[in-house]
């Protein structure tokens, strides 16, 4: 991958998805952090279906830190892995309340210390919540990065480094959103819709359908 080819890819995706935006619904950093933890191994649509009631019951870190595990499990059950997820968001809220005065920390190091938040989640929170350039690698981003030739790896950190080496820092957030949208809409894991792909002429993946 070259920076010139990468620029063409991002521009083509941007033209194809001019209205790209996060699919998770959130109104502040508290809601973003909780939604990101709940989004593990499920769809953003499923998370959005439960967070309305969850945030009405627990509108901030302090109230969530005092919540009963059984009550939170009931609210997030449909997102899957609800026992661990409910435990993580409660413990995360406790740490933020006790150690950060109820305000979500804005550094990668402090975010990754919070229960339920790893590098990918920290990148999403930094990017969407704090406006800090970051490029989170989920399954869609990894698949497309490999298909387009940015990387040849299943290691998320290696893929992240390959992408950020070719994409200008100011476009990291945009690129993350574009690659996710493209993965969901066109570049599917099993049957990519190559005839509808805006970057088909720029792609030499052996996974392409003819």
Q: Where are the domains of the chain?
A: 3-20+135-202, 29-130
Active site residues: 120, 138
**Euclidean distance between CA atoms 137 and 134, whole angstroms:** 10
Digitized pLDDT (tens) for each residue of the chain, 210 residues in all = 899 999 999 999 999 999 999 999 999 999 999 999 999 889 999 999 999 999 999 999 999 999 999 999 999 999 989 999 999 999 999 999 999 999 999 999 999 999 999 999 999 999 999 999 999 999 999 999 999 999 999 999 999 999 999 999 999 999 999 999 999 999 999 899 999 999 999 998 887 765
Quick one: which H or E segment has residue 173?
A: helix 172-185
The single-letter DSSP state of residue 27 is S
- CATH 1.10.1670.10 matches 3-20+135-202: yes
Query: Which CATH fold topology does 29-130 show?
Result: Endonuclease III; domain 1 (1.10.340)
CA–CA separation, 61 and 44 (whole Å)? 21
Backbone CA torsion sign across 134, 139, 142, 147:
negative
Q: What is the pLDDT of residue 208?
A: 75
User: Residue 168's pLDDT is what?
Assistant: 95
């Amino acid at each position: 991958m070259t920076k010139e080819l990468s620029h063409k890819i991002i521009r083509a995706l941007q033209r194809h998805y001019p209205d790209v935006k996060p699919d998770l619904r959130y109104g502040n950093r508290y809601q973003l952090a909780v939604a990101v933890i709940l989004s593990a191994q499920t769809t953003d649509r499923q998370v959005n279906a439960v967070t309305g009631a969850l945030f009405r019951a627990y509108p901030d870190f302090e109230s969530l830190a005092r919540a009963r595990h059984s009550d939170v499990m009931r609210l997030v059950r449909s997102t899957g892995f609800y026992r661990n997820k409910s435990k993580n968001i409660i413990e995360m809220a406790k740490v933020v309340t006790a150690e950060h005065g109820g305000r979500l920390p804005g550094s990668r190091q402090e975010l990754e210390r919070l229960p339920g938040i790893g590098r990918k989640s920290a990148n999403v929170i930094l990017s969407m919540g704090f406006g800090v350039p970051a490029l989170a690698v989920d399954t869609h981003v990894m698949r497309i990065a490999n298909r387009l030739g940015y990387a040849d790896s299943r290691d998320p950190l290696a893929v992240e480094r390959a992408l950020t080496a070719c994409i200008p820092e100011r476009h990291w957030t945009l690129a993350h959103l574009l690659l996710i949208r493209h993965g969901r809409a066109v570049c599917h894991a099993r049957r990519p819709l190559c005839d509808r792909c805006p970057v088909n002429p720029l792609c030499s993946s052996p996974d392409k359908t003819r």
